[in-house]
Chains A and B, each alone.
Chain A
Amino acid sequence: MATIAPVPITRRHSIIGEVFFWIALAVAFIFFMFPLYWLLMTSLKLRSEVTLLPPTLLPFVDFKPTLLNYLAVFTKVSELGTVTEAKANTSLSEFPLHLLNSVLIGGGATVLAVILGTLAAYTFSRYKIKAEADLMFFILSTRMLPPIVVLIPIFLMFTYANLRESYLGITLLYITTGLPFVVWMMKGFFDEIPREYEEAAMTDGFSRIEAIWKIVLPEALPAMLATAVFVLITAWNEFVFVQLLNPSHATTVPPFLYAIIGYGQIEWGRMAATSVVFLLPVVIFTFLVRNHLLRGVTFGAVRR
């Protein structure tokens, strides 16, 4: 019957193919999801249960889930499992403050990096700039040096400029780390938007800046959001620099997380619960912009 059908014969999914598809998907899914499942389960276990052998795999069936670890994330409950009576006089832990710092620093750096990088990318895309390819490579190359090499100069620099233990310093640093990625991604994106869009608006009597604001930016917003996901992930999770530059009150969550397991007795449950809470904002943001992700990450490398 396929011989007469003029419709494209793309639906040639045999049963074997279908079975193979679902098996392959399931295997991949298990590989990528199991550690996350295990992280979540660990966060729901008492300390005595975390390293049991054989491990308890299913909540409610194998073990009784508890939210004590989450309580310990936000309050100063130190010894897990032994706190049932002492709950009354608990105070807030340091975590909420660190989380707020992460939001301010990571969020602020992301917004600024995306805005500044987008403007620069627009310029690279629309104007004739001398040695453009070299400049673009130069921008990318600032990403290539192992961060540890510049750790000492940056430490000395921030000391002289009085930027240690400040929000400004680390935010500027994260903006700078994010910029190359933004410029590369957004330049690719602008290369795909026809110039005629703005030019039409400009013949209509808009100045260029107005055309950018009213025509180009709305068009670029999805790509900007997709880029923001990556910049946020990097800034949100950065550890080495913030540990060195802002070790105490202006620090973010990763150094705090590292400290939880730093001292001999490792509280895996509390560490897992903190990780889950810390992960949520990024996951939510990514989920909200998921539809733009695919369109956003093409770097202009794909001709439509």
Chain B
Amino acid sequence: MPDTTLPQEGATVVQSAQSGRLRPRFVWLTDRRLATIFLTPTMLLLLLIAIFPLIWSLYLSFTQYSVIQDAATGPKWIGLRNYAQLLSDKNVWNRFALTATFVVPAVGIELVLGFALAMLLNRNFKGRGVLMTLMLIPMMLSPVVVALFWYFMMRADTGVLNYFIRDVLHLSEKGVFWLTDLRVAMWSVILVDVWMWTPFMMLISLAGLSAVPKYLYEAADVDRASAWFKFRHITLPIIAPLILIGVLFRTIDSYKLFDTVYVLTGGGPGRSTQVLSVYLYQLAFREFDTGKGSALGYIMLVGIIALANLLIRVLNGLRAET
């Protein structure tokens, strides 16, 4: 709406047309009100849709409850019994260990491979933009599609991977039992996760690399610094915090990975890929032990918060250094 209350003073009008207006509009929007308006929707949504269900499931974790059987009677308070049962269960600890054998290699490989790829792509050549977009496609796919299609490619008899291994490269006579061999299945899951999420680490690393000021390298070149020296003392300190954020997001996400494993192996063969989330699904939606499932969720949450805090502490340390 046009502001007609301006004083009719020629010089000011001209000046205000060029560089702004004499009297600001929306003065009633004080900084304080603005902050409230800006923060409220986000906080409200997080409280209602993220925190409230969280508290609800915290309550459920102290009860004996099954959505199917106890729908009429409602949850029955049993205190810490779910937690006691879970924490004294050797199987739960095994699944924690199993999840670690997935998260650590997966995130580790994604980090190293993603960074290496970023180093490769961090120079100008023709088709770099297209190549980068193509490389990002794996993470744009739905996890359901990724898992289904890798399942298709990993089939022991007619899968295309085994065709190459068996009939083209002759590496093995029978091919690899990607999804049915107890020792291989977890590595297959890792392979799929690496395929899907290395592009993310690549993107983050590339963002970091392209943000390093060129003059630093030029100065180092004048001093005849070695490539390793430049990497260690210029590149690494600048990009380390960013890479750590990437690792943080990847760790959180792979720790609670569900759909890929569920579709790809269903937790099998045996229980060799039954990571925590899949076990949780088993508890809550196969055995319909809602209370115990919630308790396991909270135990998982404590674990990841501790881990994330550790990473963030390292991150803040790195930030303080630079």
Contacts and interface: CB of A to CB of B under 8 A. Distances in A.
A152 interface: yes
B41 interface: yes
Contacts of B50: 142, 150, 176
Contacts of A145: 54, 256, 297, 300-301
Contacts of A291: 129
B133 A275 contact: no
Interface stretch (A20-28, A69-77, A81-89, A90-98): A20-28
Interface stretch (B77-85, B86-94, B146-154, B180-188): B146-154
B134 interface: yes
Contacts of A32: 134-135, 138, 195, 198-199
A36 interface: yes
B35 interface: yes
A119 B207 contact: no
Nearest to A258: B144
A177 B121 CA distance: 31
Given A143-B252, A149-B293, A239-B144, A205 B23 contact: yes
Nearest to B280: A148
Contact of A303 (B19, B24, B238): B238
B25 A210 contact: yes
A104 interface: no
Given A35-B195, A237-B143, A302 B242 contact: yes
Contacts of A237: 140-145
A175 B46 CA distance: 9
B46 A54 contact: no
B276 interface: yes
B57 A150 contact: yes
Nearest to B43: A120
Q: Is the interface of B mostly helix, strand, loop or mixed?
A: helix
Contacts of A151: 284
Interface centre among A8, A123, A145, A148, by most chain B C-beta atoms within 10 angstroms, is A148
A80 interface: no
A142 B46 contact: yes
B228 interface: no
Contacts of B37: 119
Contacts of A116: 41-42, 45
Interface in A103-143: 116-117, 119-120, 122-123, 127, 129, 137, 139-143
A227 interface: no
A46 B121 CA distance: 37
A52 B211 CA distance: 48
Interface in A1-45: 8-10, 21, 24-25, 28-29, 31-33, 35-36, 38-39, 42
B160 interface: yes
B60 A153 contact: yes
B53 interface: yes
Q: Is the interface of A mostly helix, strand, loop or mixed?
A: helix
A283 B204 contact: no
B72 interface: no
Contacts of B120: 21, 24-25, 28
A144 B116 CA distance: 28
A206 B43 CA distance: 28
Interface stretch (B100-108, B213-221, B265-273): B213-221
A164 to B, nearest CB: 14
Interface in A165-196: 172-173, 175-176, 179-181, 183-184
A237 B147 CA distance: 13
Contact of A141 (B48, B284, B308): B308
Contact of A294 (B207, B222, B258, B277): B207
A152 B108 CA distance: 33
Nearest to B191: A31
A201 to B, nearest CB: 7
A205 B45 contact: no
Contacts of A141: 305, 308
Interface centre among A144, A173, A278, A297, by most chain B C-beta atoms within 10 angstroms, is A144
Interface in B209-253: 210-213, 217-218, 221-222, 238-239, 241-242, 244-245, 249, 252
Nearest to B130: A287
Contacts of A21: 120
B1 interface: no
Contact of B51 (A39, A137, A142): A142
Interface in B191-213: 195, 198-199, 203-204, 206-208, 210-213
B131 interface: yes
Contacts of A207: 24-27, 29
A149 B297 contact: yes
Interface of B: 16, 19-27, 29, 31, 34-35, 37-39, 41-43, 45-46, 48-54, 56-57, 60, 67, 113, 116-117, 120-121, 129, 131-145, 148-150, 152-153, 157-158, 160, 163, 167, 195, 198-199, 203-204, 206-208, 210-213, 217-218, 221-222, 238-239, 241-242, 244-245, 249, 252, 256, 258-259, 263, 276-277, 280-281, 284-285, 290, 293-294, 296-298, 300-301, 304-305, 308-309, 312, 315, 319, 322
Given A123-B39, A254-B145, 4 more contacts: A117-B42, A175-B45, A205-B24, A237-B142
Q: Which 10 A-B pairs have the closest CB atoms?
A: A149-B297, A204-B20, A153-B53, A237-B142, A207-B24, A153-B56, A301-B241, A120-B42, A142-B50, A119-B38
26 contacts: A8-B217, A8-B218, A25-B121, A28-B117, A32-B134, A53-B163, A120-B38, A142-B46, A146-B256, A150-B57, A151-B284, A152-B67, A152-B293, A153-B56, A154-B49, A207-B25, A210-B25, A237-B145, A239-B259, A257-B145, A258-B263, A275-B142, A294-B203, A301-B244, A302-B207, A302-B242
